[in-house]
Chain A
Amino acid sequence: MSSIVTGRALLVFAALAALPAVPGVPTYYLLLAFDALLFGAIAMSLDLLMGYTGLVSFGHAAFYGLGAYATAILMERGVLSLWACLGFSVLVVGAYALVVSYFATARRGIYFALLTLIFAEVVYTFFRYTQTFGGSDGIQGLPDAELWRGVPIDTPQRKYYLVLAYLAVAYAACRVLVTSHFGRVLVAIRENEDRARFLGYRVRRYKMGVCLISALLTGLAGAIYPMRSAFATPDLMLWTESGEFIISVMIGGLGTLAGPIVGGVFFTILRDKVSSYVDWYFIVIGVVLIAIVLFMPKGLLGFRRLLGFRQWRATG
């Protein structure tokens, strides 16, 4: 299965792994890199839904935020193990995703977008106004997580490697998925859902399946976030956050997996620079979205498709 890990990918990951070793890299940039890679991972998991299956989720931030709260709730109570947090997030996000995907996949794709949005709004409202979870302030002041007893993930370097490891695993998993039988069916569903049904596929199951997988990947990313930020707040679940995920996917290029990672990184850095002009920020986002759809629907990496990234399209 050499197609899982291309030489190109290995090179990139090696370079990324070497980043903290470069002398003179300030903490700020390492943490920015953390955010960028995390965003990239989330955008990639959203691409499974958007690029490969053709379903737009406007509520992906809910999966992200729930994962963060899962970690925060455990760490608040003194459970610092990375693995416990990840496991608990899987449970919480998985349960929520099952319910959402059940309702969201019952009808045409447009209802998927609407229902994911509505569900996410409800989750946001719930956390924002429930004091048990800190209300609008969320859960603050969290300690560092532990890899295992006695090995805290406390330095920026360790946190960076945490997210890099996560991205590597998630990327490999996604590559396996999109080249598998399951992945090819997703593409067929995107291209012509009705036809897929007439070929014997229980389309709804596939949609629920990919929604669940995408949600879990995003939830795990969310679970890692408080280990860097030391908090979990309801704002992580705003629909504007979902919009930012979507932008990242679009910038990078639908249906390429690697594209959205680049898009997520690009967007995070862009946001970091632009958000000093906080007021204008959302207008910029809106204009960027409009411009991408009108002028650059294939995203940044879309152009590189011409150079041979064709894996997800013509050939298997």
Chain B
Amino acid sequence: MDYLVAVLLPQLLHGLVFGAALGLLALGLTVIFGLLGVMNFAHGELYMLGAYAGIAVIGWTHSFWVALVAAPLIVGVLGALTEVATLRPIYRREPLYGLILTFGLALVFREGVRQIFGGDMRRILPPFTGSTPLLGMTYPNYRLFLLAASSALLLAIWLFFTRTRAGIIVRAAVQDAEMLDGLGVDVRRVFTLTFAGSAALAALAGLLLAPVFTVYPQMGVEMILLAFIVVILGGMGSLGGSVVAAVVIGLAQSLFSLWMNPQRVAIAIFGIMIVVLILRPRGFFGREGVLE
């Protein structure tokens, strides 16, 4: 029973938070793919850039909270610029080109960061320390904050997609991008804003999680691979599906880490993906009739 409370429960909570971050990334990928027709290989790098932008801002202002606002903004703007400069010209082309271009972007971002900040591991200190007794265990305050923050974020996103006009339009357009033309909205602006928004969210996730994990240029790579698995399992037709799949993978990752070393964990997650694909080739939420 002690084990359950002292070890398992915290790990479950870690998993939820990690899953929420993954969900943010997977959502961003899904929305960008649905709207722009581009699978953004550089999305993990945007997550990583959030952490590094945070490091830079904290360096100037010594405030984590300022960074929490500034870093996503910075990355969001970077995202908007990138989208206008590189993605806009290739909307109508075959999806193959988008893949390759974002792959190139990922390389540039990753290596660029390595050049500027060096390849060493960095740390961002949590803005507050201490722990709280909770359900029979003591849980670090910052992680509690993360739990609250990620829930709030997901709730906010859900509200955006279901209650705001902009969100409803985006959600519908993810299913069928052509309908945007008929609505009289400036399609290009929608695309740029969407991309910038996804980038900002990814950056926010990166910064929020940074005090818990170490910061290094490759950190986006692991996240993007997991995000791809989430997208494969959740399918890209359903936004809710992405979040559910992300939480499942996040929990699995967290729990497996209790018992296996990181490499085995990776292979175990991969194994889960294979099993699901065998049983449900379209993923959890695949749709019939769409010749996927």
Contact = CB atoms under 8 A, between A and B. Distances in A.
Contacts of A111: 232, 292
Given A125-B266, A283-B112, A194 B291 contact: yes
A16 interface: no
Given A118-B225, A297-B97, 15 more contacts: A103-B277, A108-B292, A111-B292, A113-B39, A126-B267, A128-B263, A279-B115, A280-B111, A282-B107, A285-B104, A286-B111, A287-B108, A289-B104, A290-B101, A290-B108
20 contacts: A56-B96, A56-B100, A106-B281, A107-B282, A110-B39, A111-B232, A111-B292, A113-B99, A114-B232, A117-B225, A118-B232, A126-B267, A129-B263, A240-B107, A243-B103, A243-B107, A279-B115, A280-B111, A282-B110, A293-B104
Given A194-B291, A289-B101, A114 B231 contact: yes
A194 B289 CA distance: 12
A280 to B, nearest CB: 8
Contacts of B270: 118, 122
- Interface residues on chain A, size class: 35 or more
Contacts of B103: 58, 243, 246, 289
Interface stretch (B85-93, B154-162, B163-171, B208-216): B85-93
A294 B89 contact: yes
Given A54-B94, A107-B281, A294-B89, A285 B266 contact: no
B105 interface: yes
Contact of B96 (A54, A107, A240, A283): A54
B48 interface: no
Interface string A294-308: 100100000000000
- Chain A binding site: helix, strand, loop or mixed by DSSP? helix
Contact of A250 (B100, B108, B274): B100
Q: Which of B89, B107, B273, B274 has the most CB of A within 10 A?
A: B107
Contacts of A106: 277, 281
Interface residues of B, number: 39
B18 interface: no
Contact of A293 (B39, B90, B110, B115): B90
Contacts of A194: 291
A121 interface: yes
B33 interface: yes
A136 to B, nearest CB: 12
B225 A121 contact: yes
Given A110-B95, A113-B39, A293 B101 contact: yes
A115 interface: yes
A212 B67 CA distance: 49
A279 B232 CA distance: 34
A288 interface: yes
A107 B266 CA distance: 23
Interface in B32-57: 33, 39
A117 B106 CA distance: 14
Contacts of A279: 115
A128 B115 CA distance: 25
Q: Which of B96, B112, B225 has the most CB of A within 10 A?
A: B96
10 tightest A-B CB contacts, nearest first? A289-B104, A286-B107, A286-B108, A282-B111, A290-B104, A293-B101, A286-B104, A107-B292, A129-B263, A283-B111
Nearest to A109: B95
Interface string A115-158: 10110011001101100000000000000000000000000000
A122 B93 CA distance: 31
A197 interface: yes
B65 to A, nearest CB: 33
A185 interface: no
Contacts of B277: 103, 106
Contacts of B225: 117-118, 121
Contact of B99 (A56, A115, A240): A56
A290 B86 contact: yes
B195 interface: no
B146 interface: no
Nearest to A240: B107
A50 B112 contact: no
Q: Which of B111, B266, B281 has the most CB of A within 10 A?
A: B111
A256 to B, nearest CB: 15
Interface string B171-213: 0000000000000000000000000000000000000000000
A111 B95 CA distance: 12
B292 A118 contact: no
Contact of B101 (A54, A282, A294): A294
